């Protein structure tokens, strides 16, 4: 099954419309698709309609921003959620509402480094102003010639510990998992290989995630090299988590892996889609 269970549209920090994302997924052979914008489900119905028209299977999705432990930002993907669930909707709206003040702070930090007008510049890249994100700042800084590509902007300016980094309080892990499961969905740890967690912390995190009702983990991710795939396959087996396959596609040429272009899952795993279809 060519399932790709994580991607973005311009309702968050992707560059394509939900319709274009689904067409690209279909053209790449995806059989089971979703749309998982950051803290936002506004693009899901458009994606759903296009996916069905193309003959793909589709589940609704979202990627919730979470703060955990000592200033760690963790992303939790929710799949097959009821996007009209009032608790989920109110929770996501609350998470989105913090983004504007944070963006102003990022802009102030960058101004101290001599980069003026970053808030307005980033906003011009954000089709959905409620979802102003570091990706929009990154595209603006590339446009200004401050770095050669989006990835370099993060390592020079916007990543943790860099001049434009602003710590932020997102949802708690408990809230994110409860909103997702309360809306009938499955909570999945996004790109676990990206977090700065020692093995002991990862174990504590996964234990807590499961206690709240979390069920899945991205084993295949564009953020994972083959070593990380094996490491997180092992966590999935040890913690009895469903294994997901996730390109985290944002834009042609900008993403590490394109839609539907991931390898097969390692053996002895329970595929996440067995719980969806
Ligand atoms: P935000 O939610 O505003 O903090 O923005 C996070 C987004 O920035 C992620 O979802 C990615 O799309 C992007 N991002 C984070 N780190 C990197 C990186 N090292 N290279 C490229 N994009 C990144
Ligand atoms: Mn993103
Ligand atoms: Mn993410
Ligand atoms: Mn993502």
Span 200-215, pLDDT tens digits: 999 999 999 999 999 9
Closest atom, ligand 1, to C-alpha of 134: 3
DSSP 71: T
Which ligand neighbours the alpha carbon of 13 most closely?
A: 2
CA-based torsion, 273, 187, 193, 222: positive or negative: positive
Tell me, what's the pLDDT at 241? 98
210 lines ligand 1 (CB under 6 A): no
Q: Is 232:241 a contact under the CB 8 Å cutoff?
A: no
Tell me, what's the pLDDT at 217? 99
Closest atom, ligand 1, to C-alpha of 102: 3
CA 134 to ligand 2 centroid distance, Å: 8
Tell me, what's the pLDDT at 254? 87
157 lines ligand 1 (CB under 6 A): no
Residue nearest ligand 1's atom 4 by CA: 134
- Residues 37-85 pLDDT 10s: 999 999 999 999 999 999 999 999 999 999 999 889 999 999 999 999 9
8 lines ligand 1 (CB under 6 A): no
Picking from 12, 77, 17, the residue whose alpha carbon sits closest to that of residue 50 is 17
Asked whether residue 184 carries a pLDDT value surpassing 90, the answer given is yes
249 lines ligand 1 (CB under 6 A): no
User: Which of 7, 13, 190, 247 best tests ligand 1's pocket when mutated (most atoms within 8 Å of CB)?
Assistant: 13
Closest atom, ligand 1, to C-alpha of 250: 12
- Residues 215-273 pLDDT 10s: 999 999 999 999 999 999 999 999 999 999 999 999 998 888 999 999 999 999 999 99
Closest atom, ligand 1, to C-alpha of 168: 4
CA 256 to ligand 3 centroid distance, Å: 13
Alpha-helix runs per DSSP H in 183-225: 199-212
Buried b (16+ CB within 10 A) or exposed e, 122-138: bbebbebebbbbbbbbb
Residue nearest ligand 1's atom 3 by CA: 133
Residue 123 tokens, joined: 């906003």
Torsion, Cα of 95, 22, 246, 125 (10° steps):
-50
Q: First vs last Cα of the chain: how many Å apart?
A: 11
Q: What's the pLDDT band for 154 if we cut at 50, 70, 90?
A: very high
Q: What is the average pLDDT across 189-210? A: 97
Torsion, Cα of 125, 8, 134, 223 (10° steps):
-140
Residue nearest ligand 1's atom 13 by CA: 135
12 lines ligand 1 (CB under 6 A): no
State the Cα–Cα distance between residues 216 and 53, nearest whole angstrom. 28
Asked whether residue 277 carries a pLDDT value surpassing 90, the answer given is no
26 lines ligand 1 (CB under 6 A): no
Tell me, what's the pLDDT at 92? 98
Tell me, what's the pLDDT at 206? 98
Question: What global pTM score does this model have?
Answer: 0.98
Picking from 250, 185, 177, 190, the residue whose alpha carbon sits closest to that of residue 220 is 190
Buried b (16+ CB within 10 A) or exposed e, 13-36: bbbbbbbbbbbbbbeeebbbbbbb
The percentage of the chain sitting over the pLDDT mark of 70, rounded to a whole number, equals 100
Tell me, what's the pLDDT at 255? 82
6 lines ligand 1 (CB under 6 A): no
User: What mean pLDDT, rounded, does the chain reach?
Assistant: 97
Picking from 244, 274, 275, 241, the residue whose alpha carbon sits closest to that of residue 262 is 244
């Amino acid at each position: 099954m060519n399932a790709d269970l994580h991607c973005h549209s311009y309702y968050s920090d992707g560059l394509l419309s939900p319709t274009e994302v689904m067409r690209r997924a279909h053209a790449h052979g995806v059989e089971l698709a979703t749309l998982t914008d950051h803290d936002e489900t506004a693009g899901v119905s458009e994606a759903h309609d296009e996916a069905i028209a193309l003959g793909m299977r589709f589940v609704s999705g979202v990627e919730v921003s979470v703060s955990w432990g000592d200033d760690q930002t963790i992303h939790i993907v929710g799949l097959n959620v009821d996007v009209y669930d009032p608790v989920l909707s109110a929770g996501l709206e609350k998470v989105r509402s913090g983004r504007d003040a944070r963006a102003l702070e990022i802009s102030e930090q960058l101004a101290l480094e001599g980069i003026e007008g970053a808030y307005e510049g980033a906003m011009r890249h954000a089709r959905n102003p409620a979802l102003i994100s570091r990706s929009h700042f990154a595209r603006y800084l590339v446009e200004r010639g401050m770095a050669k590509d989006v990835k370099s902007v993060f390592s020079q300016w916007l990543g943790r510990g860099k001049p434009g980094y602003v710590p932020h309080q997102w949802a708690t892990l408990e809230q994110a998992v409860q909103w997702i499961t309360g809306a009938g969905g499955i909570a999945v740890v996004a790109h676990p290989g990206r977090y700065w967690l020692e093995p002991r912390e990862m174990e504590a995190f996964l234990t807590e995630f499961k206690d709240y009702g979390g069920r899945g983990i991205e084993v295949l991710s564009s953020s994972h090299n083959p070593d990380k795939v094996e490491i997180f396959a092992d966590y999935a087996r040890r913690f009895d988590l469903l294994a997901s396959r996730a390109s985290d596609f944002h834009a042609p040429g900008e993403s590490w892996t394109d839609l539907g272009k991931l390898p097969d899952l390692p053996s002895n795993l329970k595929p996440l889609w067995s719980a969806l279809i």
